[in-house]
Amino acid sequence: MSRSIMEATWEPPLTKQKKPRKADERAVQEFQDLLRSSGLRSTAPRVAVLQYLHDSSEPSSHAELFEALASKGFDRATIYRNLMDLAEVGIVSRTDLGDHVWRFELKKGVAGTAHTDEHPHFVCIHCGEVACLPGLAFEVKSVKGVPKSVSKNKVAVQLKGLCDNCG
Ligand SMILES: [Zn+2]
Ligand SMILES: [Zn+2]
């Protein structure tokens, strides 16, 4: 990415929130309404997946979701299938941060999530930790000679470096 066409505006990233909050009943109702208005049936695994993604401040892989939700009795295939369903209707976005692992997060405006629709991600080159950078915006100053996908915003911006634990 050349410096001449991109300009970064830096705002501090969201503070990490590792411990998921206990979702209240209002939130569950919100997830159920969201599923129905997207044309999906409201099922326990779907609500659980939405709840988990809503409560995490960084994108989560299928493996992480499975591990977190295993105690609820959902199997791997169920969680995977539901993630795909949610991605297909556009409630959830999928990102590959270069390690060939899909990571999932709730899209903007979904049940009050702080995520913006398109935002860069930070990946630690040492431990692989991933962070969302919703306050970091890239602006394309000129579209001359730039692939169409760039001007259409169909590209992912990723920053690599050392996280606080590794730096
Ligand atoms: Zn690290
Ligand atoms: Zn993100």
| Ligand nearest, relative to CA of residue 133 | 2
Instruction: For residue 155, report the distance from its CA to the centre of ligand 2, in Å.
Output: 14
Instruction: For residue 17, report the distance from its CA to the centre of ligand 1, in Å.
Output: 16
| Positive or negative torsion for Cα 85, 88, 89, 90 | positive
| Ligand nearest, relative to CA of residue 161 | 1
Q: Is 132 exposed, middle or buried (0-12, 13-18, 19+ CB in 10 A)?
A: buried
Closest to 31 (Cα-Cα) out of 49, 57, 56, 58: 49
* Spans of all domains in the chain: 6-161
Q: Which residues surround ligand 1, an ion (CB under 5 A)?
A: 124, 126-127, 129, 163, 166
Average pLDDT, the chain: 81
Instruction: For residue 107, report the distance from its CA to the centre of ligand 2, in Å.
Output: 9
Tens-place pLDDT, residues 86-113: 999 989 988 888 888 999 998 866 655 5
Instruction: For residue 124, report the distance from its CA to the centre of ligand 1, in Å.
Output: 5
Give the Cβ contact number of residue 94 at 10 Å: 14
With a pLDDT cut of 90, the percent of the chain lying above it is 43
| Ligand nearest, relative to CA of residue 95 | 2
Instruction: For residue 47, report the distance from its CA to the centre of ligand 1, in Å.
Output: 31
For residue 10, the model assigns a pLDDT of 55
Tens-place pLDDT, residues 133-156: 877 777 777 778 888 887 776 777
CATH of domain 6-161: 1.10.10.10
The H-assigned helical ranges of 70-147 are: 76-88
| Tokens 């609500």 -> residue | 47
Answer yes or no: is pLDDT of 9 > 80: no
